[in-house]
Structure 1
C-alpha cells in the first residue's frame, strides 16, 4: 500500500506533468548524455523532463515501484540554469546538467523535506544543504528529488522489511515487484536501475549501498569512511556511516565519487582524507586493470548460502582469470563473525549520541532526541508501527554515553579485528583486492516476518571503515547478483579500476523490463 502523504505525492505528480521529451534516458550514461548535450541532441532540461516523465509513468503509476518520495519543484529551473551556463561556455564538470536522486536522509536546503522516512520529520525541512549536496550543485548536477528508504536507515527494528517507511510505504524491486529492494538505500537502488535518474546517492552503515546495488544490477561504491562528508546526513554511526554513488556503470560511479569526495571542516573524519582525495577517479578506469592484478577469493562465511550466488561467483572467478588476474583461492576475511556483537553495541551507542546531536539542531521538528522519536512512534503506532516495532531504538535509548567502557572496548575490538581481517590477508598474499559475493538474489518482501537475508559480505569493509564496490556478476532467474571488490583504506581508485575491467569484460548489466 502506498502511504505517502498527499502533500508529498502531490509534489511528485505536479513536478512530473511536463511533456515527455524526445531525449532517451533509459540506461543512458553520464558520458553519453554529455556527448548528446555537447552536440545539441539533448539539454539538461530535456533530460530532466524525461526523468520526471519516467518517474510518473513507472513510479507513481504502472508497476508503481514506489521508489521516489518527492521530486524537486526546482529541478527544471536548475536545469534551465545549467543550459544557460553551457551556452555561455561555462561547464562545471562531467555532472553538468545530469539529474541525480538523493536518499531521503540527506539534507537539502530547498523546498523538499528531509524525512528519513519518518512521519516525525515529514513536515519539516532542513535549513541547509548537506556538504555533499553543495558539492553536487557545484559540480553542475540537477537535484531531481529524494528516494524512499528503509525508515531511519533500517536501524529502528530487528524485524523490519527493507524498503518500507511510514512516509513512503514499500519500495519494490524493479526486476520483480514482489521481491525486496534490500538495504536502506532501497529507493535509490530501484530508481536508478529503472532509469528514473542518471545517477543516485545512497548511504551505508553496513550493506546499505552494496546490497541494494547488488539486487538492482547496479554499481555501488562504499568509500573509505572520511573520504565523503557525512555532515547534513541523518546519522546512525560516525564510525561506519558514509554516502556513496549508486549507478548503472563503473564510469558513472567514478564521476560521482569525484564530485562528492573531499575534506569538510564540519566532519572530523574527513581530515584523514587529506592527500587521498583524487581529482578525477575516472583516471583509474583501464580496460587492462586486471592484467597481473592479484585477487583473493573469500569463501568462509560469505559463500554456501545460495546455490545461485555460488554458481555466479565461480563464473566470476573464471572471468577474472580470463581477464588476466592472478587468483589466490582462498583468501578469507580474518575474524569474520567474531565482532558481530561488538558492531551492534557500537551502532546502538553511536545511534543515540549521533541522532541526538542531529535532531537537536533540526529546526522546527517535533522531535529533538531519540527518546522523542520513540515517544512519537508510540503515539502514532497505527501508521508508524503497522508492520514492525522499534526494539533497536529502545535498546539504543538504554545505552549510556560514549565514555562508557562497554562502548570503548567494543569499538576498539570491532575496528581492530575488521581492519586486521582485511589488511593482514592483503599483505600475506600480496593482493590488490579481495572478492566475495555481495549477497543473494532478492528475497520475497514479507511484512509479517521481516527480511530474509541469506548472507552477505558487507561487514568486514563496513566495520573497518574501508572501501568496497559491488558490480553485477550476472542474474539468477532474472534477478541480479553482485560481486564485491574489497580493499584497504583509500584504495577507491584501484577498486574502481578492477571493477571497471571486470564490468567491461563481462557486460552483465541488464535493464529491468517495466510495463
Structure 2
C-alpha cells in the first residue's frame, strides 16, 4: 500500500498519530511535563486500581457510593468547564442510586464478582436503556435514548459495575470526514489529552482513553474498527484491549463495520483491563459472530496474568513502523531489550503482506458496511429524528453551524452512494480484506514460529487542530483490525512527557497468550506515570 493511501485509510478510523517536527523539537526529557501548580493535594484515588477499590470496599474504608462521589467530584472539577479535559459527555443521573443498591447487596453478603461496586464509563456509541442518551456524539441523535441496554451493558450490570457515565468520542466513531480532529463531536466538542490539554487524545475512543488516564473513573470501554481503542490508549498512556471480533457482542453498538467492529476494555493497568475483558464475553443471539467464541472464551482472563509470560516466547517485530521518529525508535529499542531480558526471543523485520495488497478494498469495505449497518441501527431507534444515513447527512447540512463548523462529511456522503451488501463489488472487497489480513498474520506466526507480533501503536500526541485535522504518521493497528484478531497496547515510554504505546497482536482468540506477554512487559518496565492535566508542554 502506498504511504499516502495508508495514511488516509488510517486517519478515517482514528488509528495512527503523527510523529511530526513539533513533537521532537528538542531532546527527550521525562521532565518535559511540569508539575501541576493548581493542584497541591493529590487526587484521593489517583491511580487506584480496581483491586485497590475492591479492597477498600471489602474493608469498609469506602462504600461504592463514596467512591462514585469522589469520581463525580473529580469530573466536575477537572473534566467539565472551559479548561477541563472534556472526556465525559454525560454523567449517569442514576449512578449513586445504583451504587447504593450494590452497597446494600454487599452489606447483605451478596457480592456479584470482582467488579461489584466499581465505577465504569462507556463510549457514547453504546446503547443504555436508561436516562442517558446514546448519540455517537452527533446532535442528530441528541435527546434520543436507546430502547434497551447493549448486550455488554447488560453483562456489566449483572457483574455489579456502576455505570458512572458516557465518554465523548470522535463523532460517528471518526467515520465522517477525511479531515477530522480526533475527539471532536458536535454534541461533546473537543476532548483533550490529560498529559497536555492542548494535545489530541487520538480516537475514536477519545473520551474513554482520556477519562481513565485522567482518573475520572476506574476503567472504561471503547470501540474499534481500526485503531480506535489502541490509538487513544497509546496517546493517553493506558492499556487498551481490542478483542477478537466475536468475543464481545456488538448488539446495541452504533456500527461502522460488521467485519471489523468490536468494543473492548481500557484501563490504567493490564490487570484492570483484563479484569473487565471476561465480564463482557458471552454468546449473543443478536450477534452471530459471538457464536464463534463458544469454547474460545473465558469468564476470567486474570488467570493469564503471568509475570514470567515473556519467558521462552518468540515475538516478531512488525516491519515498517520504525524510522519515523528517533525518540520513538529509542523507546522501542528499550522495549525490545526489556523483553529479551525477561526471556523472549525477538525476530526482526516481519512483513505481513506486500505493499498495496489491499488496493482500495480497505476503505470501500467500510463504506458499504457503514451504510448497511447504520440504516439498520437507526431503524431500531423509535424516538430518533433520523432514520437513515441519508437523514443524518441532511441533518448535518441543515445544522452545519453546529455539526460542520470545521470539517465536512465526505465519508458519510461516499457511504451513502454505496449499494447493498449483495453487490459483487462489496463481496470482492470483503474477500480481499479478510484473506490478505488473516493470511498475513497466520502465515507470519506459523513460518517464523511466533507467539505474537509487536509494533509501535503510535507516536506522541499532536497539537489539537480542528481546522486542518489530525496529523498522522506511523502505527500498527491495521493488520489486527482488518483480520478481526486481538490486539493489546501497553505504555512503552514517553517523548517529552507524551506517552507512546507498544502493540502486541496475534492469532484469532489468542487473548490469553497476548495477556501474558503484555502483563510481563508491564511488570518489567512499570512505564505509566499519572498525567497532571497541565495546559501545555514545557519545552524550555
TM-score bucket of the superposed structures, by smaller chain: over 0.9
* Cα pair 2:458 2:476 within 8 Å, conserved: yes
SS class of match (1:236):
coil
> For the residues of structure 2 that align with 1:162 and 1:23, how far apart are their CA atoms?
27
Identify the residue that residue 426 of structure 2 maps to in structure 1: 407
Identify the residue that residue 387 of structure 2 maps to in structure 1: 368
1:509 to 506, 524, 528: 528
1:436 to 455, 476, 498: 455
1:248 to 258, 268, 277: 268
1:65 to 85, 107, 118: 85
Identify the residue that residue 314 of structure 1 maps to in structure 2: 333
Identify the residue that residue 442 of structure 2 maps to in structure 1: 423
Q: CA deviation at 1:361?
A: 1.0
SS class of match (2:121):
strand
SS class of match (1:191):
helix
Q: Give the TM-score normalised by the residue count of structure 1.
A: 0.94
> For the residues of structure 1 that align with 2:523 and 2:356, how far apart are their CA atoms?
33
Identify the residue that residue 12 of structure 1 maps to in structure 2: none
* Cα pair 1:162 1:181 within 8 Å, conserved: yes
Identify the residue that residue 322 of structure 2 maps to in structure 1: 303
Q: Give the TM-score normalised by the residue count of structure 2.
A: 0.90
SS class of match (1:366):
coil
2:247 to 191, 215, 227: 227
SS class of match (1:431):
coil
SS class of match (2:201):
coil
* Cα pair 1:335 1:418 within 8 Å, conserved: no
Q: CA deviation at 1:363?
A: 1.2
Identify the residue that residue 294 of structure 1 maps to in structure 2: 314
Identify the residue that residue 467 of structure 1 maps to in structure 2: 486
Identify the residue that residue 18 of structure 1 maps to in structure 2: none
> For the residues of structure 2 that align with 1:334 and 1:227, how far apart are their CA atoms?
26
1:395 to 406, 409, 414: 414
Q: CA deviation at 1:330?
A: 2.2
Identify the residue that residue 165 of structure 1 maps to in structure 2: 185
Identify the residue that residue 50 of structure 2 maps to in structure 1: 30
Q: Deviations over 1:399-419 (max 9, x none)?
A: 011011111001101110001
* Cα pair 1:23 1:47 within 8 Å, conserved: no
* Cα pair 1:468 1:485 within 8 Å, conserved: yes
> For the residues of structure 1 that align with 2:357 and 2:351, how far apart are their CA atoms?
14
Q: Deviations over 1:242-283 (max 9, x none)?
A: 000010000011110010111111001111111011120000
Identify the residue that residue 200 of structure 2 maps to in structure 1: 180
> For the residues of structure 2 that align with 1:487 and 1:201, how far apart are their CA atoms?
21
> For the residues of structure 1 that align with 2:284 and 2:43, how far apart are their CA atoms?
36
C-alpha distance 457-336 of structure 1, shift in aligned 2 (>3 A): farther
2:148 to 110, 117, 128: 128
1:82 to 81, 102, 108: 102
Identify the residue that residue 205 of structure 1 maps to in structure 2: 225
Q: CA deviation at 1:23?
A: 9.2
SS class of match (1:179):
coil
> For the residues of structure 1 that align with 2:47 and 2:301, how far apart are their CA atoms?
21
C-alpha distance 336-176 of structure 1, shift in aligned 2 (>3 A): farther
SS class of match (1:309):
helix
In the alignment, structure 2 segments of 5+ residues that lack a partner are: 1-41, 535-540
* Cα pair 2:200 2:463 within 8 Å, conserved: yes
Identify the residue that residue 405 of structure 2 maps to in structure 1: 386
Q: CA deviation at 1:26?
A: 1.3
Q: Deviations over 1:302-324 (max 9, x none)?
A: 22222222111111111100111
Q: How many residues align?
A: 493
> For the residues of structure 1 that align with 2:43 and 2:190, how far apart are their CA atoms?
30
Stretch moving more, 116-125 or 61-70: 61-70
1:345 to 357, 360, 364: 364
SS class of match (1:484):
strand
Runs of 4+ in 1 over 6 A off after TM superposition: none
SS class of match (1:295):
strand
> For the residues of structure 2 that align with 1:494 and 1:135, how far apart are their CA atoms?
24
C-alpha distance 507-337 of structure 1, shift in aligned 2 (>3 A): farther
Q: Deviations over 1:338-393 (max 9, x none)?
A: 22621100000000000000001111111000000001101001110001111000
* Cα pair 1:63 1:514 within 8 Å, conserved: no
Ranked by relative contact order (alpha carbons within 8 Å, sequence separation 6 or more), the top structure is 2
1:192 to 212, 215, 219: 212
Q: CA deviation at 1:61?
A: 3.8
2:373 to 348, 354, 357: 354
In the alignment, structure 1 segments of 5+ residues that lack a partner are: 1-21
* Cα pair 1:100 1:199 within 8 Å, conserved: yes
Identify the residue that residue 22 of structure 2 maps to in structure 1: none
> For the residues of structure 2 that align with 1:398 and 1:424, how far apart are their CA atoms?
36
Q: CA deviation at 1:336?
A: 5.8
Identify the residue that residue 235 of structure 2 maps to in structure 1: 215
> For the residues of structure 1 that align with 2:452 and 2:434, how far apart are their CA atoms?
19
Q: CA deviation at 1:43?
A: 1.2
Q: Deviations over 1:203-238 (max 9, x none)?
A: 000000000000101000000000000000000001
> For the residues of structure 1 that align with 2:359 and 2:239, how far apart are their CA atoms?
26
Q: Deviations over 1:87-134 (max 9, x none)?
A: 111111111100000100000000001010000101110010000000
Identify the residue that residue 16 of structure 1 maps to in structure 2: none
1:146 aligned to 2:135?
no
Identify the residue that residue 283 of structure 2 maps to in structure 1: 263
Q: CA deviation at 1:448?
A: 1.5
SS class of match (1:438):
strand
* Cα pair 1:336 1:460 within 8 Å, conserved: no
* Cα pair 1:68 1:148 within 8 Å, conserved: yes
> For the residues of structure 1 that align with 2:46 and 2:154, how far apart are their CA atoms?
27
